Amino acid sequence: MSRTKPSPDEALAESFCEMLLVERGASERTVRNYGRDVGRFGAWLSKKKTSLTKAGRDDVAGYLAHLHDTGRSAATAALCLSALRQFYAFAFEDGATSENPTLTIEAPKTRRPLPKTLSPEEVGRLLDLSEAEAAGGEPGALRFHALMTILYATGLRVSELVSLPRVALRDGEPWLRVVGKGDKERLVPLTDEAISAAALYLAEGRARFTKAPDNPFLFASNGKDGHLTAARFAQLLKDAASRAGIARERVSPHVLRHAFATHLLEGGADLRAVQQLLGHADITTTQIYTHVTRERLARVLEEKHPLNAA
């Protein structure tokens, strides 16, 4: 039985997927998703008695409107448009189309979700709990208190925190040397509490977590990574949240990073300073926290202003 010859649209879509896989090294999942989006657009076009190679700007805009009308989210439509942009860039360069109909199409506006955070009082409860438990001298409690205080004092990414080298903490220096994304190094100031907690952990707790005297990590481990994993720390943090009377699902290392940034801005910190502390390359990434503080201020006004009193 002979295989049915693919239509020009199908052949072009197959060539596009092959290019993504072979030339760009895209993952199979990405290729599958892009191929699906192009295929669905092609099927929609066929009902309109046209095709991928003949589609114009109005067809692309009409399809995005169709996605909206059928209940698809703006994020889904934006991803679809991204796939079509790459497909038509390929088709135009290949000579299969005389124009790229996606060039002047604006992506659907997506509302970036505001980062989840905790109140200063809730973070205080977590810190008080970890300090009280560390007072017993148990190595795990000493390590957790050091992790907690350093994280809230610096706003590090959890990957940066758990993989800190031992030399990141230098005796007598109130600074932490952090290598972040893109191997960029930054200096982050430490609070006195974080310095004290780290020093106590180093003196009385760290040796219990590694058998290797030359282990280079601050939060050393006998595991394959040589240091505490992000997943394990997240689990410890959720367990602590339960003991502090905070819902487990509300707490994660990233939520504490958000809390660090939000609380600094609420306290009047400069946005540029917070950007540097977080290690953001682009300040627009940091600006999302200003929306969190505005929402909180609006709630305070609504709840506390005498004209709004019941």
For the chain, domain boundaries: 8-94, 120-304
- 213-243 per-position pLDDT tens digit: 899 999 999 999 999 999 999 999 999 999 9
Token code pair at residue 256:
């504490």
Asked whether the beta carbons of 259 and 141 are under 8 A apart, the reply is no
Angle separating helix axes 288-304 and 253-266, nearest 10 degrees: 70
Angstrom distance (rounded) from CA 34 to CA 16:
9
Q: How many CB atoms lie within 10 A of CB 297?
A: 11
Which residues partner with 165 through β-bridges? Answer: 217
**Which pLDDT belongs to residue 279?**
82
Asked whether the beta carbons of 8 and 54 are under 8 A apart, the reply is no
Q: Which of 145, 206, 257, 258 is catalytic?
A: 257
**Which pLDDT belongs to residue 1?**
43
Tell me whether residue 63 is one of the annotated catalytic residues: no
Tell me whether residue 201 is one of the annotated catalytic residues: no
Tell me whether residue 66 is one of the annotated catalytic residues: no
Q: How many residues does the chain have?
A: 310
Largest distance between two CA atoms of the chain:
81
- 47-90 per-position pLDDT tens digit: 999 999 999 999 999 999 999 889 888 888 889 999 999 999 99
Domain 120-304 belongs in CATH node 3.30.70.1710: no
Indicate the SS3 state at residue 13.
helix
Token code pair at residue 265:
């801005």
- What is the model's pTM? 0.60
Q: Where are the alpha helices (DSSP H) in the chain?
A: 8-22, 28-47, 57-69, 74-94, 120-134, 139-154, 158-162, 192-204, 230-243, 253-266, 271-278, 283-286, 288-304
- 124-180 per-position pLDDT tens digit: 999 999 999 999 999 999 999 999 999 999 999 999 999 999 998 887 678 888 887
Domain 8-94 belongs in CATH node 1.20.1250.20: no
Tell me whether residue 280 is one of the annotated catalytic residues: yes
- 238-296 per-position pLDDT tens digit: 999 999 999 999 999 999 999 998 888 888 888 888 888 888 877 777 777 776 555 55
**Which pLDDT belongs to residue 34?**
93
- 16-37 per-position pLDDT tens digit: 999 998 888 888 888 999 999 9
**Which pLDDT belongs to residue 291?**
62
Q: Which of 181, 184, 250, 294 is catalytic?
A: 181
